[in-house]
């Protein structure tokens, strides 16, 4: 649990904020030097997401999505804007959201809101989103804050909406990364936090074709 590895909560958040302020506002910066995996990532995410957007009585809508930990809008641009009428973005680093406005190009006109805020302090507007996408950012929240944030996400969903987490998974336990002030949890810990938030797991998938030297990456859909 993060309580075992995070000694000072305030410091944990402020160090992460400081780290991201110095990261270049580029795709490579967003992916920690692994910009070349972006297309593999996006293509897998699209395939995963589309199974919920297909026709059927419980089909997830395509009106509005929220990109959490959005950075310069890599996921907004390539995954969410092609599938949803409008998108909102939230990120703690103001420079990234500023850069997003040029990076997204013409299609960026369909981004309604740019929220500059840490997820521990962010509340999605209730009953507003068909999909809330949370990628490579849960490690910047303590267990309690992550569970609380997921509860607020649940309240932010429209009927048949889903919350999606895509993130690194540790082999065992919780591992602290002092460089960017984040944690990496194992599958068991993440499952417990999802349950604690009152969410029900609909699908889980391990990302394929990523470099061997990085953590395993899993995608979860829940509501």
Which residues carry a binding-site annotation? Answer: 69, 74, 91-93, 119-120, 135
What is the distance between the alpha carbons of residues 130 and 189, in angstroms, rounded to a whole number?
26
The answer for residues whose C-beta is within 8 angstroms of residue 113's C-beta and 6 or more apart is 88, 89
Candidates 203, 218, 180, 183; CA nearest to 54 is 203
8-17 burial, b at 16+ Cβ within 10 Å, e below that, comes to eeeebbebbe
Token pair belonging to 174:
């919780």
By three-state DSSP, how is residue 86 classified? Answer: strand
What is the distance between the alpha carbons of residues 136 and 166, in angstroms, rounded to a whole number?
6
Please report, in range form, the residues annotated as the binding site for S-adenosyl-L-methionine.
Answer: 69, 74, 91-93, 119-120, 135
What is the distance between the alpha carbons of residues 54 and 58, in angstroms, rounded to a whole number?
9
């Amino acid at each position: 649990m993060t309580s075992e590895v995070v000694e000072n909560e305030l410091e944990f958040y402020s160090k992460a904020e400081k780290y991201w302020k110095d990261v270049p506002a580029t795709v490579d910066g967003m992916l920690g030097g692994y910009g070349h995996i972006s297309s593999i990532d996006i293509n897998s995410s699209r395939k995963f997401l589309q199974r919920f957007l297909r026709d059927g009585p419980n089909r997830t809508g395509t009106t509005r999505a929220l990109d959490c930990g959005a950075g310069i809008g890599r996921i907004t641009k390539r995954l969410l804007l092609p599938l949803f009428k409008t998108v909102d973005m939230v990120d703690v680093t103001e420079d990234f959201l500023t850069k997003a406005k040029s990076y997204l190009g013409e299609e960026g006109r369909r981004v309604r809101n740019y929220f500059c805020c840490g997820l521990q302090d962010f509340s999605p507007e209730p009953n507003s989103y068909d999909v809330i996408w949370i990628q490579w950012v849960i490690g910047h929240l303590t267990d309690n804050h992550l569970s609380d944030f997921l509860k607020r996400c649940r309240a932010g969903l429209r009927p048949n909406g889903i919350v999606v987490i895509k993130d690194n998974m540790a082999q065992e336990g919780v591992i602290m990364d002092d460089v960017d002030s984040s944690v990496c949890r194992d599958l068991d810990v993440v499952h417990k936090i999802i349950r604690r938030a009152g969410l029900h797991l609909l699908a889980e998938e391990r990302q394929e074709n990523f470099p061997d030297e990085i953590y395993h990456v899993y995608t979860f859909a829940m509501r």
